[in-house]
Amino acid sequence: MARLLLSVSVPMSASSSRRIVVPGTARHRGRSGVCVAVPATSTATATQQEFDPAAAPPFGLGDIRAAIPKHCWVKDPWRSMGYVVRDVVLVLGLAAAAARLDSWLVWPLYWAAQGTMFWALFVLGHDCGHGSFSNNPRLNSVVGHILHSSILVPYNGWRISHRTHHQNHGHVDKDESWHPLPERLFKSLDSVVLMLRFRLPFPMLVYPFYLANRSPGKSGSHFHPASDLFQPSESKQVLTSTACWLAMVALLAGLAFLMGPLQMLKLYLVPYWVFVMWLDFVTYLHHHGHNDKLPWYRGKVVYS
């Protein structure tokens, strides 16, 4: 009988890939694209068995880390800043070209392209928040504040809540976002909240409201240092990010006064909402699987 193997592909750069191989299991590819283990005595019986996402994987985080080439762990601030410069130049170039052409044939193309570039700026700021941008915390903070403030995201407020999310991923009570709601909480929501949170297209536009009010069942704001999102020692960091956010709002208001509200709507506000849709859509896909194969929970599960 042929030897059965588990092969786990670890995402990395386009030029490199390794696999973790665990003997004694058959390969089964789930919706996520990752090969997972299914106990089997033959390939035929393996394909007949259902994948159990609640079962512990036959490998640990140490195995995954060991499979990633060492050069992938090296943080290169010059390369990171190169990405920042490239994306900022693209953002400014797109805006300049659209303003110069000022054609209704061009504006929809601009909105799609610029909204995607705003999403790219968010991702770079996201890496600053995780500390993967560079080994210099001050550089990470400065770049993260500039990038996230430019797209109306309070950098430290988001960074801290995002850290909480990663530390409590999938926890019904402690997770910060995209967590399953208990039935009692779901039934307590009024019709307006239910529509905004769970009826398309509204969930694709929810991010700014989440920043202001958090998820259903939670209180506080990403802008207020007294929110239970934060520790007292983090107050100055939150205030700094909120001040940067307000400075960006003031800048946008000034530009609207100089160029006119319609021009600012076309140049900034429409791409901003395209960015919001990108962010909500991508993170939705990150946190949802096949309805019949959700781990750890039984019955109907609703994610916020």
For the chain, give the number of residues: 304
CB 35 within 8 A of CB 27: yes
CB of 185 closer than 8 Å to CB of 301: no
SS3 of residue 157 by DSSP: helix
A 10 A CB-CB count for 270 gives 18
Q: Break the chain into its structural domains and give their ranges.
A: 5-71, 76-303
Print pLDDT tens along the chain (304 aa): 333 333 344 444 444 444 444 444 444 444 444 444 444 444 545 545 676 766 777 888 899 999 999 999 999 999 999 999 999 999 999 999 999 999 999 999 999 999 999 999 999 999 999 999 999 999 999 999 999 999 999 999 999 998 887 777 767 677 677 666 677 777 787 788 777 777 777 778 888 988 988 776 677 899 999 998 899 999 999 999 999 999 999 999 999 999 999 999 999 999 999 999 999 888 877 766 655 555 444 445 445 4
Residue reference for tokens 């769970």: 198
DSSP string, 103-122: -TTTHHHHHHHHHHHHHHHH
Q: Tell me phi and psi for residue 21, to 5 degrees.
A: -115, 125
| 3-state SS class at 160 | helix
| Helices 77-101/107-130 angle, 10° precision | 160
